Structure 1
Amino acid sequence: MENIKFNELQLHTKVLQAIDAMGFEEPSQIQAEAIPVVLEGHDMIGQAQTGTGKTLAFGAPVVSGIEKDNKTSALVLTPTRELAIQVNDELSRIAKFKRLQLLPVYGGQPIERQIKALRRGVEIVVGTPGRILDHIKRNTIDLSEIKFLILDEADEMLNMGFIDDIEEIIKASNSERQTLLFSATMPDQIKRLASKYMKKDVKHIKIVKSALTVEKIKQHYYEVKAKDRFESLCRILDVDEPSSAIVFCKTKKGVDELVESMQSRGYNVEGMHGDMNQNQRLNTLRKFKEGTLDYLVATDVAARGIDVDDVSHVINYELPQDIESYVHRIGRTGRANKEGTAYSLVTPREYMFLKQIEKATKSKIKRKEIPTVDEIFETKYKNIIKNIKQTLEEDDYKNFIPVATELDEEYNLVDVAAALMKMMFEKELSFDYSENALASTNGNVRLFLSVGRIDRISPKTLLQFMRTNSGLDVGEIGDIDIFDKFTFMDVPEKFVTPIIDKVSGKRFQGRKLNIEVAKSKK
C-alpha cells in the first residue's frame, strides 16, 4: 500500500473531489488499508489509535456507497457528544459534493429539534448510544434499512458502560447491514461483540502504533487568525532567524502560494511537493542540504525524501491530517543529538486537535505569543551592531575610509553611521508591518474557574460541560491550565458574557462552579 493515491482506491468521484478540497494528498495507513475492504462490502474491525485518520477511513467509502434519498443509510455511534460533533463535521466535508444530509444526535440538545430533522430525512446520523436509543424507543429513527453501522472508539464506549445500549441498537438495525468497528484496543468484550454481531468473514486491520518520540524537540504553538497566518510566519522568522527551516503545508497549492509570498518578501526559499518531477526535487534538496537555501516549504509526501541533519526549525504553517504526520514532520529537526524547535500555527478551531497531539506524544506544546514589531526591531538592531563590530574587528574596511572622510566634510559621521544602519535594517526586514501586535494575540480573555485537579476534571470534560451549558463552539477556546484547586481558561472576548451568564453557578463534578475574569495571567 506504500505511496498509493486516493484516486486509485475506487472512491466516488464526488468524494475524491471533497478529499482534494480538504487538502489530503495521499491516504494514511489506516485509510489505504480500510477503504478497499469497506468498498468490497466486508465487515471490518479497524484497530488504530486516535489521530490516524479513522473518520476518513470509514467516511470516504461509506459516503461513496450512499445516494441522496432522505432515508437513514448510515449510523455512526461515538462515545461522547464531543466526538459526535467532530465526526459529523468531518463527514459533512466528505459528503459536501454529494449533498447528503447529516445529523449529529446527542444528549444535552433539544430532542424535538432532532426529531424534526429526522422526519425531514437524513442519510447519515452520528450520535451517542444513549440518545440514539432514546430515538429508537420513540420510533423517531428508522434503522431497518441502514446500509452501514459504524462503532467508533468502541473500547471507549464499553468503558463508559454502553454495552447494553449498543446491543439494543444493533438488534434494531438492518440485519443485512455492513458493520465497521474501530477501536484502539481489543478487550474481550469487543471480541465477543464482533463475534456475535459481525459477519464470519470480518476483516481485521491492525495499524501498529509507531513510537511517537519527540524528546529533544522544543514544541510551541502560536494561536493565529486565518487571515494573519502569513504575517505571523514572517514575524516568527524575523525574530528567530532560523539557520535552516522546513515549513509544512497541507496541499500542493498551499506550498506554491506560500513560496511565492515568501519569495516576494525576500526570503531565500523554494518548495517541494508531489507534482514536481524527481530532478526538481533533487535539485531543491541539494541546495537545501548545501545551505544555499534557507527555507524549504513542503507537503508531507515530498518531505519523505528529506534527510538533513542541521534543520534548526520545523514550522507547521498548517497542521497535518493525523498525529503520526505531525511526529514525522517535527522529527526533521533535533537530529544528530542536537536540540530542535517545532512551531505550529493554530487557529482556534484546531486547538482540540493540538490537545490530541499532546496526549498521543505525551509532550507539552507550550503557547507562545506572536512576536511584536518592537521585538523584531530589537532582533534586527542587535544583528546590525554585531555585524558592524565583526567588520571592525576583522579590520578589512580600510578601502572605504576615503569615502567616509569625504562624507565627514559635509555630514556628522554619527548621522552617516545611522543612515547606513537604516539601510541595513530595511534590507533585513521582510514584511511591511503596520501594527506592533497582531490582534490575534490579544483576542482572548483569561477566565478563573473554581475547580481543579482535586475535582477530577480534564480539558475534555471541561469542554464538554462548557458546550452543553453554553451552546458555544468550544473549538474556539484557547489554553486550559488546570491546577489543584482552580483552573484558568482562555476564551474569545465574545464568549465571556455567555459563559459567565449561562455556566457560572452550575454544578460541575458535584461542586458549584464559580467563573470570573482572572485578575492577571499567572
Structure 2
Amino acid sequence: MATFAELGLSESILKVLAELGYDEPTPIQEQAIPVMLSASDVIAQAQTGTGKTAAFALPIVERLRDERVPQALILAPTRELAMQVAEAIYKYGKGRRISVAPVYGGQPIYRQLRALEQGVQIVVGTPGRIMDHMRRGTLALDQISTVVLDEADEMLDMGFAEDIEFILQQTPQERQTALFSATMPEAVLGLAHRYTKTPKRISIVSEQHAIPLTRQAYYEVMPREKLDALCRILDVETPTSAMIFTRTRAEADHLGESLQGRGYLSEVLHGDLSQAQRDRVMKRFREGSAELLVATDVAARGLDIPDVTHVFNYDVPNDPEAYVHRIGRTGRAGRTGMAITLITPRERRMLQIIERAGRTRIQRQKLPSLADVAARRREAFRDALRGVLEQGDLDPYLLMVEEMSEEHDAVDLAAAAFKLLLNEVDQDDTISSVEGDAVGAEPGMVRLFLDVGRLDQIRPADIVGAIANEVGLPGKSIGSIDIYDRFSFVEVPNEQSQKVLHVLNGASMRGKKVKVSVAKPKR
C-alpha cells in the first residue's frame, strides 16, 4: 500500500489530508491519482463509496493555474452528488483560495450567476443546468483542461447521454477526460471510446460485505444539532459499553471533550496517541471505567472488545466496507447489539449506498423527546431504587422520614425526594429532526410548506410543474426545494408568494389535494 506522499502530491495537499484524517489512500486513489496527475485520460470502474472523489479531485486541485477561469468541469447525475463533490474539493483546496462553484437545478439561478461572474476555477454540476448556463453565455468552456464524468452509468441511465456529448463537444480537443463509473455497460464504453484518447484503464472490484445481524437504525438531524441529538439518544439507550466513530482525529477529540464536559464517562482513541496512552484508554474502556469510546476507523483497527453493546456512527462512514467494519464490533458472541447512525440531509445518498451494498434496510427512528429521556431516567431510577431496598441499611434515612412525616404525608415526601434526585425541571424541547426544520429562505424569497412529500410520490418536477402551470411562474425563478417523507418546502419570489399560496391551495399533485402555507422558521 502506497502513501499519499508516494503518489506525487505536494506538501500543501499532504498537509490538508493529514488535517482531514486521511491516513492512507484507498485502492482507487492509489491507482488513479498518479494517472490523473500525468494528464492522461482515465476510464475507471469503481463503486460509489470507494474514495473516487478524492481520486480525481486531488489531482485537479494540484494542477490548477492561478487564473480565475473555469479549468476543470465535473459532471454528476444528481444535485446531491454535485454538492458533495464541490464540498470535498473546497476542503482539499484549503489554504490555496481555490474557487469552486456547484451548479445544479433546484437552486436559485441568481446565486450561481453571481458565483460564475466572480470567476471560478472548478465547476461541478448536473448536465441540464450546465447546458443552461452555456446557452445563457454565463459559462465558457474554452479553457477547460480536465473533464470528469462522475458516475457515468447513472447519468446515462437518467437520459443525459445527448447532454453530455453536447457539453464535451464544446470543450477543447486537447483536454484530459476522466470517466468514473460503477459499471461499464456498452453505452458507457461507447462514450469513452468517442471522447477519450488512449485512456488508462483502472478497475477496482469492491467486495460485497454482508451486514452483521445487528439491529440498525438512523436518525436524521441538522448538523448543528448532532451533539445534542447524540446525547439524547445516549440517555435513552443507556449503553454500558459503546463505541462512537468519527471520520477524523480532530472530530474525535472535539466530540470526546464535549461528552466529558456533559458528564459522560468517555475516552478518545486515534492515531496521535502514543502506545502508552492507547493502552491506558483501552484499559479504562475494557474495565468499564469509561462507558464510551470515541474513535476513528484507523485507530480502531485490530481491537478485540467482545462486550460492546452499541456502535454509534457520529459521522457517516465514507464507504460501505467501513460501515460493516464499524458495526461488526457489536452483537458478538451471540449477544444482541445496536448500531445507530446520525445523518444530515446531505448524507442520505451515502446511507442508501450502504443499504444497497449490504442488502439491508436501516430503520429510520424519531429523535427522542425530553419526555422520552425523562421517562427513561425514571425507569432507571426505579431499578436503582429496588437495588437499594434489597441492600437494606436504611436506618439513618428512616429517622429522617419519621421526623418529616409529622408535617408531611410519607408518600408526598417520597415523591418530592424522587423529583429532587431526578432533577426534573420543565424544559423546552428544542432539538428537532430535520423533518421539523423550516429554515429561513434566501433574501427576496419566501419559503412555503406543502403537506405532501415522498410518501405521496412527490418529486421536485411535480412542485415546479404545479407552480409553473398554475401560477405561470417560470421554473428558473423557483428556489430550493426540499422533499421529506410527509411534507415539502419550496422557495418562491416574495412578490409571487401570495399568488402561489392562493392558486396551489387545494390544487392536486399526484392525485392528492395540497395544503400550502408560509413556513415558519424555528426560533
The verdict on a shared fold, with TM-score over 0.5 as the criterion, is yes
Instruction: Decide which moves more: 72-81 or 404-413.
Output: 404-413
Q: Which consecutive residues of structure 2, in runs of 5 or more, have no partner in the other structure?
A: 439-448, 468-474, 518-523
Q: Which consecutive residues of structure 1, in runs of 5 or more, have no partner in the other structure?
A: 481-487
SS in 2 for 1:344: strand
Residue type of the alignment partner of 1:410: E
Q: Does residue 1:437 correspond to 2:429, yes or no?
A: yes
Equivalent residue for 1:483?
none
Q: Does residue 1:309 correspond to 2:333, yes or no?
A: no
Counterpart CA distance in 2 for 1:311 and 1:268 is 15
Indicate if the aligned counterparts of 1:444 and 1:478 stay in contact, CA closer than 8 A. Answer: no
Match for residue 204 of structure 2 among 199, 206, 211: 206
Indicate if the aligned counterparts of 1:244 and 1:311 stay in contact, CA closer than 8 A. Answer: yes
SS in 2 for 1:192: helix
Indicate if the aligned counterparts of 1:35 and 1:60 stay in contact, CA closer than 8 A. Answer: yes
Equivalent residue for 1:257?
254
Equivalent residue for 1:484?
none
Indicate if the aligned counterparts of 1:77 and 1:151 stay in contact, CA closer than 8 A. Answer: yes
Instruction: Decide which moves more: 457-466 or 268-277.
Output: 457-466
Counterpart CA distance in 2 for 1:18 and 1:503 is 51
Q: Does residue 1:273 correspond to 2:270, yes or no?
A: yes
SS in 2 for 1:302: coil
SS in 1 for 2:338: strand
The CA deviation at 1:143 is: 3.9
SS in 2 for 1:285: helix
The CA deviation at 1:357 is: 4.0
Q: Per-residue displacement from partner, 1:295-339 (whole Å, max 9, x unpaired)?
A: 111112212223323222112223333444333322322333443
Match for residue 57 of structure 2 among 56, 59, 62: 59
Q: Per-residue displacement from partner, 1:184-220 (whole Å, max 9, x unpaired)?
A: 1011232233334323351313242432525532212
Match for residue 11 of structure 1 among 9, 12, 20: 9
Equivalent residue for 2:452?
449
Match for residue 400 of structure 2 among 398, 407, 410: 407
**Cα distance change, pair 139–294 in 1 and its aligned pair in 2 (3 A):** closer
SS in 1 for 2:267: strand
Equivalent residue for 1:346?
343
Counterpart CA distance in 2 for 1:219 and 1:450 is 22
Counterpart CA distance in 1 for 2:483 and 2:23 is 29
Counterpart CA distance in 2 for 1:43 and 1:101 is 24
Q: Per-residue displacement from partner, 1:469-496 (whole Å, max 9, x unpaired)?
A: 774445xx4742xxxxxxx226599999
Instruction: Decide which moves more: 209-218 or 66-75.
Output: 209-218
Equivalent residue for 2:500?
501
Counterpart CA distance in 1 for 2:388 and 2:110 is 76
Identity value in percent: 40
Equivalent residue for 1:372?
369
Q: Does residue 1:182 correspond to 2:174, yes or no?
A: no
Match for residue 285 of structure 1 among 276, 282, 306: 282
Indicate if the aligned counterparts of 1:248 and 1:297 stay in contact, CA closer than 8 A. Answer: yes
Indicate if the aligned counterparts of 1:223 and 1:346 stay in contact, CA closer than 8 A. Answer: yes
Counterpart CA distance in 2 for 1:376 and 1:115 is 47
Q: Does residue 1:326 correspond to 2:323, yes or no?
A: yes
Superposed counterparts of 1:222-241, under 5 Å: 222-224=220-222, 226=224, 228-241=225-238
Match for residue 93 of structure 2 among 87, 92, 95: 95
SS in 2 for 1:410: helix
Instruction: Decide which moves more: 29-38 or 232-241.
Output: 29-38
Counterpart CA distance in 2 for 1:174 and 1:278 is 54
Q: Does residue 1:148 correspond to 2:146, yes or no?
A: yes
Match for residue 29 of structure 2 among 8, 13, 31: 31
**Cα distance change, pair 166–451 in 1 and its aligned pair in 2 (3 A):** closer
Q: Per-residue displacement from partner, 1:454-509 (whole Å, max 9, x unpaired)?
A: xxx576877998996774445xx4742xxxxxxx2265999999699389859x99
Q: Does residue 1:384 correspond to 2:387, yes or no?
A: no
Q: Per-residue displacement from partner, 1:97-126 (whole Å, max 9, x unpaired)?
A: 322333344567798987786576432223
The CA deviation at 1:145 is: 3.9
CA RMSD of aligned residues (A): 4.3
Counterpart CA distance in 2 for 1:111 and 1:380 is 50
**Cα distance change, pair 334–503 in 1 and its aligned pair in 2 (3 A):** farther
Residue type of the alignment partner of 1:435: Q
Indicate if the aligned counterparts of 2:86 and 2:102 stay in contact, CA closer than 8 A. Answer: yes
Indicate if the aligned counterparts of 2:240 and 2:291 stay in contact, CA closer than 8 A. Answer: yes
Instruction: Decide which moves more: 270-279 or 405-414.
Output: 405-414
Indicate if the aligned counterparts of 1:444 and 1:490 stay in contact, CA closer than 8 A. Answer: no
Residue type of the alignment partner of 2:272: D
**Cα distance change, pair 335–115 in 1 and its aligned pair in 2 (3 A):** same
Alignment coverage as a number of residue pairs: 493
Counterpart CA distance in 2 for 1:277 and 1:44 is 41
Indicate if the aligned counterparts of 1:216 and 1:338 stay in contact, CA closer than 8 A. Answer: no
Indicate if the aligned counterparts of 2:270 and 2:296 stay in contact, CA closer than 8 A. Answer: yes
**Cα distance change, pair 297–190 in 1 and its aligned pair in 2 (3 A):** same
Indicate if the aligned counterparts of 2:458 and 2:510 stay in contact, CA closer than 8 A. Answer: no
Counterpart CA distance in 1 for 2:503 and 2:27 is 44
**Cα distance change, pair 418–109 in 1 and its aligned pair in 2 (3 A):** closer
**Cα distance change, pair 242–502 in 1 and its aligned pair in 2 (3 A):** same
The CA deviation at 1:437 is: 1.4
**Cα distance change, pair 478–156 in 1 and its aligned pair in 2 (3 A):** closer
**Cα distance change, pair 215–513 in 1 and its aligned pair in 2 (3 A):** same
**Cα distance change, pair 448–249 in 1 and its aligned pair in 2 (3 A):** same
Residue type of the alignment partner of 2:261: S
Indicate if the aligned counterparts of 1:268 and 1:294 stay in contact, CA closer than 8 A. Answer: yes
Equivalent residue for 1:515?
514
The CA deviation at 1:144 is: 4.4
Counterpart CA distance in 1 for 2:289 and 2:83 is 47
Counterpart CA distance in 2 for 1:119 and 1:252 is 38
Q: Per-residue displacement from partner, 1:25-66 (whole Å, max 9, x unpaired)?
A: 554443343223322333222212223332222111111111
